[in-house]
Structure 1
Amino acid sequence: MAADDLDFRPADPAEADALWALTLRSLDHWGHPTNHPDLIAQMSAEDAITAAYIRDNDTWVLASGDGTTVGYYGLKPIEAAVDLTYMFLEPEAIGGGLGRRMWDHAVARARTTGNERMRIISDPMAIGFYQAMGAELERTVALAPGFELGVMWLPLADGAESA
């Protein structure tokens, strides 16, 4: 699938289950279901993207002209900031520049909220990506031995550019 055949569209609440399945495939790419099955089960029960989330928040899909979903992200307002709640790509799309494309789109959308910064709760395997994009690591939170989420922030003020 050619990168120039891809475009963003708002997510449809009816595709919540398909987007969660994409999330699980992406997590599997990094070995999380095998290495941390209890955490993945807890995420599935508590953190799965839902139709209500899509309806209530700024959620975008990156898809091909034939409708094939390649990735998605979701932005949710939180106290004095916006939260990049989800950002996942199909495993075969990881490493091809589409993460940067999704990031740029998400940052542009986040800036329209009027908030001064965006929070990212990062998968341990994505901390380096977000740092390369200009986000700053505030701290890590250990959820299990060998699995630490990064709490990261990106300034959104005018003139603050992603890397």
Structure 2
Amino acid sequence: MSELSPIMDPGYTHCPEAYMMCPIPDNTQPCSLPKTPKSGQKRHLILPAGHLLYIYITNLLSMKGTYLGEFEEVVLLAVAIRSGDAYGAAVVNEIEQQMRRSVNLGAVHSALNRLQEKGLVSSEMGGMTAERGGRRKRLYSVTTLGRRALEDIRHLRNQMWNSIPTPANA
């Protein structure tokens, strides 16, 4: 895990650079340009006066392009559920059954490609079948990194749900 250390900036005036993350320099001045931090490197975060924030970024989230959107998360979950039989149409069926919403096959294929680029799923070509006119299916499976991403997401969501105050009269 990489730690972000909070730095209080009493002169904060809605500067977009005030929320910039970067490797910690010799002084406490904010970085002027975005930088891609190296995994495991300590960073600082300039915050408005009166705020204190500790943020921990896992190696997964500090890698380039690993932001996981809601639809990608749903597709990744469907691939995990269909373990061993996760191809485009099966993922669509799983999402429609679980989420009770219709999804476009093309959107699922795009999400699967993005997930594969991020290293969260891997794929291999399945065998030829007569029902598909001799064509092969591309079968997807969740990688170790993908499983870790799902666990991190579940943990974060549980933390947020557990942070909701309960009514005193409940």
Q: Tell me the TM-score normalised to structure 2 length.
A: 0.26
- Name the TM-score, length of structure 1 as normaliser: 0.27
